[in-house]
Every structure is written in C-alpha cells, then in structure tokens.
Amino acid sequence: MKSEDLMRQNQSIAVAFHKQTEIEKNEHRIRLNVSVKASRFLLKNALPFHGHDESEMSISKSMFLEALSLIGDCNEDVGKVILKNAPKNNQTVSRSIQKDIASCFANQILKSIREEIGDDVCALLVNESSDVFKKEQMAVVLRYVDEHGIVKERFFGIVRVTGTSSSILKSAIDTLFAKHGSSLKQV
C-alpha cells in the first residue's frame, strides 16, 4: 500500500504545495515573518523563548507567544492569521521552528564575524565548564583587531565535550571551525 501511495502523483508534496492558493501562501508568509520578528526581538534582548506553562489559559505564557500576540494586537491583518486564527498544523510556533529561526540568526552573525576577520589572524579564548546537567561544555571566543584598529572579542560557539584533555578540546575546536567554514591557520 505504501508503494502504491508513493506512485500516486496527486499525493506528492509538490502537488499539494501547488494546490495552495495565493491567499494561503501569503498567510503562511505573514505567520513566518511574525515568528522571525518575535524571535529577533527575544534574541536581541537575551530573553527566554519558553515559559513553564504555555497553555491557552496561562496568565504568563512564553515570551515568544506573548510577542506574537502583541504583534497581532498591533496589526489587525496579522492578528487575523496568527495563533488561534491559524490552522493547527501551520502556526509556525513550534519549538523546532523557533530553534531553526534562532539558528539562522546565529549563522548570519557568525558569517559576519568571519567576514570582518577576513584573512587576518585572531586569538582563540576557550573556557570549559559544566552545564546544569553536569555535562562538560566549552565556550569559544575569538579576539581580533578590526580594520579600524579596534580589538574585538566575539562569542563564536559553545560545544559539548566528553572531557577536558587537550586532544578532546582541540578536536572539538576543529569541528566547530570546520562547521562554520573557518580555519585554525588563522589562530
């Protein structure tokens, strides 16, 4: 039966996407843009996305949902297509979507740091500690001089590590740099 379902072209994702009306596509764009704006606000101000009670009747919902609600209250057109007015399977408020949006912002910031450093050299500051779950993690900061001669320090990433030996930390740094298209040759 699964094979037969795969063979039916009218059930493919591409066909379903093309069947969407322009209105549905526009509403989805609005929901996504509002989620991005709420995420940008929370990230810029170092505010948490989640609360301990995100139910509909909660007095203190998550900051993310409160930000969406505020944006919807300020713009009637947006309010008509977000949160409870959106289809249950297309609200763009899930934690995975929030993490994806935050990751996109992080990647853009890291890209701008790499561009600012360019081909110059930088220093690497590494600090190891354990998180609340007693798991080892390593924070990496880059120190460099920009084109105006100003010394800058930028957070580059945090990585879970299995230990604190130099070989484990170096391997984690190599992996972090490779992930972001950087090279240890500049350090």
Long-range Cβ contacts of 8-12 (<8 Å, 24+ apart): none
Sign of CA dihedral 153, 159, 165, 167: negative
Reported for 92-95, long-range contacts at CB under 8 A and 24+ positions apart, including other chains, are: 92/28, 92/31, 92/32, 92/34, 92/35, 93/35, 93/64, 93/65, 93/68, 95/49, 95/50
Residues near 182 by beta carbon (within 8 Å), at least 6 away in sequence: 114
- Give the pLDDT band (50/70/90) at residue 9: low
Q: Tens of pLDDT along 108-159?
A: 998 898 888 888 889 999 988 887 888 889 999 999 998 889 999 999 888 8
